[in-house]
Structure 1
Amino acid sequence: MLLVGPSFVELNRSRRIRLAGLRLGVILLVFLAILRPGCVEKIEKNQAAILLFLLDSSRSMELPHIADDSSRWRAMVDMIRENESRVAKLAENKIETKFYTFDNGQQLLSVEDGVVNLPEKPEGIETDIGSALYQTSIDARDQRLLAVVIATDGNQNALEPEVEMSQAAEALEDMEVPLIAVQLGLAGDSGQLADVAITNFPEQLVVNKKNDLIAKATMVTRGYVNQDVKVELVVSDETGVDQIVATKVFRPANPFEETNVELKYRPTEPGEFRIKVRAVPMPGEKAVRNNELDGFLTVRDQGMRVLFVNGALGNEQRFLRYSLPALDFVDMDFLPIYPSENARRQWPLKTLEAEFRDPKKYDVFILCNVDATALSSASWDALAEAVGAGKGLLMLGGTHSFGTGQYFKTALADLLPIKMDARERQEFDQDIRRELHINSPFKLKPVRNDFLTRISDVESYKKSWSDLPPLVGANRISVKETATVYLVSDDDANRPIMASATVGGRVLVFAGDSTWRWRRLGFEAEYNRFWRQVVLWLAFWDARNDEAVSIELPKRRFNAKSLLKFGVVVKSIAGEVVEDVDFDAKLILPSGEEKLISITKSGDSFQSVLEPEVLAEAGLYQVQVAANRNGIAVGESVREFVVMDRDKEKANPVANPEQMKRLADQTREFGGRAITPRQLSKILDGFIDNPPMTKIEIPNRRRLGDSMPDATIFIFIFVGLLGTEWWLRKKWGLV
């Protein structure tokens, strides 16, 4: 296009060059418009810095700052007021200051006429140091962040912080920003803090009536060396009346001491109770909210105490001692009476007479291979009186049981359902008189369908006995005419093995001593059920409602708006789970409002779920569950739990300055450190005297057409070239 001319007019060389030049200029302008070339120039400016202040406004700031009565909040307010003039000087040096209060969130404070508008008092419900540090620092990342000053006692009480403190310190380290930690409050090891705290106590305790409860807690003492600290176990009934049921006095030997506390209590009445371990406030204590921890106590109406007296040790006693206490309502004491020659020199023992005579101590007595000469005549008289008054007695077979143990000489002779005489005596250190025993293996056969013999379903209970491994032997016994026989040998002889008598209390004899083989050879369920039913029968529990409903709460203290899952179990009195039941359940809120709740089967168990919004209100809640089978009531259960409104901010008067020092030290390379409130003025004076002004280069990019003058000149040149080219062509007759 630059070189081609018209064919009807001859152009000389000069005119051709001028037209080509104009057209070339137009083409270049088009390329310039497409490419829009430009340039970048850098402009240096002074960048202003920003200084952040984070001020803890949680309720723990009302606790003592030092050993006197001054609070941490007052110390922090005084620190800010003393340095407000310095804040004004920082502004003159183009150092902006921002003040935030924080608890589990952050609030920007206004500054009017150089005065920081601080709250009247700290009211935050929990402290989240990590999230406050991280969020405010990230918000200022586009500015020149000079430093972060945080004033706090170092106690992070938020249960679920969004950002951990170490993560927040790492973010400051990555930004090369120093953390200045102003330490408030006294550390636990400062020697100036006096405090007693109960730091650990179970939320829920379960014990059976007349069984011992050992309440275990942890107590921390500071500053009470060689002073008596009294700890109490307090039980509150449903009316709210407190009763101190146990007390212990501890005397700390060190300025800081952690003590394991054990308080013993034996409840006598069933029911649901509030229970707490309480340290009596000491002189000089500033915070007493942490002096106690409460929980819930369930006392079941199933408490049974068993005394197991044993002679020569064998497998039968060992397996029984494992199986029976596995029932959660059986508390067993085991007393061995060793029949060695040296031990027999101390016979007859008199120590058990008081145990037998105490009507509240034991419900069932078990004698296993105990020779009658081991105890005094008065002891056997006391045991006979206890059985006559309603206690249960079980005597197991052995080389020194029944007649072979000379029980025909004791007061028990009239109570036992068997006949005995002097000819049956087995002397110590002599060969066993085999004629007094069944010396070959044999199986057992029930002679009646009874609670004692029903070790499986009613329809198959006889077959269950025939399936059991045989006993390896037993005592030969002869029963009285008034005795009730339950088990005999499964052979032609039909020798009696288990028989009973009722003489006020229930008396049962079992001539064998090798049922442990059942458990060892794979019949654990039958073994457990048989012996557990024996103990229940002896205590007259076979006539009780044999099914119980229990609510299994994972804990008894919850935070507001927690998700709560709990289980429901129905068990027979022998400990077997019952599944073919339906439930009616409701939740009683602190306000008294009732909410129906559903219980569904999950696998082999029953479960219910309470959503977080249900537990929004602080206070005492109650779950009520009733179980039914085919429209017939099986049982019911009630459990209470509490949604806490505990002021955890004031529960611990100990500050944690060491934690804040560790955080500040993570930024030590950039000037981070821990300071006292009085040292803040020195830090600010350093910023005032040497303001960290930084020159920054700001890029200024310019492109063709960005400004109006550029665009106007470009258009004029473009139009001028096109117009000139057209005017010349017209003048020379080319158009």
Structure 2
Amino acid sequence: MTSWRFEPIFDSYLLVMVSICVLMALWLFVRPTRQLSKGRRFTLASLRFCLLLLILAGMLRPSRSAVEKKRQQGTIMIMLDQTTSMQQPSVNTDVTRWQAQSELYTKLKNALGDLEENISVKSYLYSDEISADIWTSADPFPEEPVGEQTDIGTSLYRAVTSAPGDRVLGVILLGDGTQTAFRPQVEIRQAGLELDRRRIPLFTVPFGKQGIAGAGRDVAIEQLPQQYRVFTGNQLNIRCVARIRGLSGSTVPVRLSVQSEGQPPEVIKTLNVESDEAEVVIPIEMEYTAGQPGNYTLT
């Protein structure tokens, strides 16, 4: 689509018209001397007229704009869990989760092989980090998973930020859905916020049987800083999260104890938290007023 537009000097068409009228009057009434031949007078008048047209064009400042619509390149990302937990049985106990995932990945490659030219596909293996793109790799698909920990948050974040110029159309996340990394570099919540900021939809494909509440019970305190530094008499705010699994409908006591050098630990505060789901993450916040100077251990 092509269009023309004018931007007259001082943003005034009236000024341009008045100026051109004055120049036209000069061109009409100021004649070349009659000592010149007729041909030369015609040539001189023509040159003045051309100069008049150039002045008019310069005062109107015409511009031509062309708009070309081009479809933006988009990327679909597929993420495959390669941790050793995928060796556990899938819903169908005859195959492992890894085998079921591999079979689905083969179907996805066949289904997404003939996409439009402006849509590309990238696939990554993930555990506590992501691999290089394996969609077009000539290497065979791994026969067995080798990852030790599952860090879903870090893997998601690394994948969507790996190519800043790409527009990610969606992420397909395959795996057993269990976060096992003790200290993830990027929390799942932060990765989710990044997906939301970029307006990227997330499609999850779980493998394995649905967990049964109480089948595996576990309580862990996470995101507790390794070290605090506080002056005597000042109040210290201690923040962390309790990850509770398999204790739905139970009350779990969380105790804060302080131990000085050579002394037994002393419980200074107890907080009861309610677990209403099979797996839940509950924020914990406690306060402690620093006593005498020294080194203390908080547990």
Normalised by the length of structure 1, the TM-score is 0.23
- The 5-angstrom pairing of residues 119-134 of structure 1 reads 119-134=142-157
Q: Equivalent residue for 1:21?
A: 49
Matched, 1:91 2:115: yes
Aligned counterpart for 1:157 among listed residues 170, 177, 180:
180
Q: Equivalent residue for 1:57?
A: 82
Letter of the structure 1 residue corresponding to residue 212 of structure 2? D
C-alpha displacement at 1:61, in angstroms?
2.5
Counterpart contact for 2:75–2:121, Cα < 8 Å: yes
Q: Distance in 2 between matches of 1:21 and 1:156?
A: 81
Matched, 1:100 2:124: yes
Q: Equivalent residue for 1:38?
A: 64
Q: Distance in 2 between matches of 1:258 and 1:188?
A: 20
In the superposition, relative to structure 1, how do residues 67 and 119 fare at CA in structure 2: closer, same or farther (>3 Å)? closer
- The 5-angstrom pairing of residues 201-600 of structure 1 reads none
Q: Distance in 2 between matches of 1:165 and 1:120?
A: 28
In the superposition, relative to structure 1, how do residues 188 and 56 fare at CA in structure 2: closer, same or farther (>3 Å)? same
In the superposition, relative to structure 1, how do residues 36 and 160 fare at CA in structure 2: closer, same or farther (>3 Å)? farther
Q: Equivalent residue for 1:278?
A: none
C-alpha displacement at 1:6, in angstroms?
7.5
In the superposition, relative to structure 1, how do residues 36 and 135 fare at CA in structure 2: closer, same or farther (>3 Å)? farther
Q: Distance in 1 between matches of 2:245 and 2:188?
A: 28
Counterpart contact for 1:110–1:116, Cα < 8 Å: no
Amino-acid identity (%)? 25
Counterpart contact for 1:109–1:117, Cα < 8 Å: no
C-alpha displacement at 1:52, in angstroms?
1.4
Counterpart contact for 2:219–2:245, Cα < 8 Å: no
Matched, 1:73 2:101: no
Cα deviation 1:398-429 (Å, max 9, x = unaligned): xxxxxxxxxxxxxxxxxxxxxxxxxxxxxxxx
- The 5-angstrom pairing of residues 608-623 of structure 1 reads none
Letter of the structure 1 residue corresponding to residue 51 of structure 2? R
Q: Distance in 1 between matches of 2:159 and 2:173?
A: 11
C-alpha displacement at 1:129, in angstroms?
1.4
C-alpha displacement at 1:21, in angstroms?
0.7
Letter of the structure 1 residue corresponding to residue 153 of structure 2? G
Cα deviation 1:660-699 (Å, max 9, x = unaligned): xxxxxxxxxxxxxxxxxxxxxxxxxxxxxxxxxxxxxxxx
C-alpha displacement at 1:38, in angstroms?
1.8
Q: Equivalent residue for 2:211?
A: 188
Q: Equivalent residue for 1:206?
A: none
Counterpart contact for 2:121–2:135, Cα < 8 Å: no
In the superposition, relative to structure 1, how do residues 41 and 23 fare at CA in structure 2: closer, same or farther (>3 Å)? same
Q: Equivalent residue for 2:233?
A: none
Specify the SS of the correspondent of 1:189. Answer: coil
C-alpha displacement at 1:181, in angstroms?
0.5
Q: Distance in 2 between matches of 1:328 and 1:143?
A: 58
Specify the SS of the correspondent of 1:136. Answer: helix
Matched, 1:137 2:160: yes
Q: Distance in 1 between matches of 2:248 and 2:186?
A: 35
- Provide the aligned C-alpha RMSD in A: 4.9
Q: Distance in 2 between matches of 1:7 and 1:187?
A: 104
Cα deviation 1:543-601 (Å, max 9, x = unaligned): xxxxxxxxxxxxxxxxxxxxxxxxxxxxxxxxxxxxxxxxxxxxxxxxxxxxxxxxxxx
C-alpha displacement at 1:98, in angstroms?
1.7
Q: Distance in 1 between matches of 2:54 and 2:76?
A: 57
Specify the SS of the correspondent of 2:77. Answer: strand
In the superposition, relative to structure 1, how do residues 221 and 11 fare at CA in structure 2: closer, same or farther (>3 Å)? closer
Counterpart contact for 2:75–2:119, Cα < 8 Å: yes
Aligned counterpart for 1:172 among listed residues 178, 185, 195:
195
Specify the SS of the correspondent of 2:186. Answer: coil
Specify the SS of the correspondent of 1:106. Answer: coil
Normalised by the length of structure 2, the TM-score is 0.50
Letter of the structure 2 residue corresponding to residue 40 of structure 1? A
Letter of the structure 2 residue corresponding to residue 38 of structure 1? R
Counterpart contact for 1:221–1:256, Cα < 8 Å: no
Q: Distance in 2 between matches of 1:606 and 1:123?
A: 41
Specify the SS of the correspondent of 1:39. Answer: strand
Counterpart contact for 2:174–2:205, Cα < 8 Å: yes
Letter of the structure 1 residue corresponding to residue 101 of structure 2? M
Counterpart contact for 1:49–1:145, Cα < 8 Å: yes
Higher relative contact order (CA 8 A, sep 6+): 1
Q: Distance in 1 between matches of 2:192 and 2:295?
A: 46
In the superposition, relative to structure 1, how do residues 256 and 63 fare at CA in structure 2: closer, same or farther (>3 Å)? farther
Letter of the structure 1 residue corresponding to residue 172 of structure 2? V
Q: 5+ residue gaps in structure 1?
A: 202-219, 223-253, 261-326, 330-602, 608-735
Counterpart contact for 1:189–1:256, Cα < 8 Å: no
Specify the SS of the correspondent of 1:91. Answer: coil
Specify the SS of the correspondent of 1:111. Answer: coil
Counterpart contact for 1:221–1:258, Cα < 8 Å: no
Q: Distance in 2 between matches of 1:155 and 1:54?
A: 14
Letter of the structure 1 residue corresponding to residue 201 of structure 2? P
Letter of the structure 2 residue corresponding to residue 96 of structure 1? S
Q: 5+ residue gaps in structure 2?
A: 1-22, 222-243, 254-261, 265-291
C-alpha displacement at 1:101, in angstroms?
0.9
In the superposition, relative to structure 1, how do residues 116 and 146 fare at CA in structure 2: closer, same or farther (>3 Å)? farther
Counterpart contact for 1:131–1:163, Cα < 8 Å: yes
Q: Distance in 1 between matches of 2:47 and 2:245?
A: 104
In the superposition, relative to structure 1, how do residues 66 and 142 fare at CA in structure 2: closer, same or farther (>3 Å)? same
In the superposition, relative to structure 1, how do residues 174 and 21 fare at CA in structure 2: closer, same or farther (>3 Å)? same
In the superposition, relative to structure 1, how do residues 69 and 606 fare at CA in structure 2: closer, same or farther (>3 Å)? same
Q: Distance in 1 between matches of 2:48 and 2:204?
A: 77
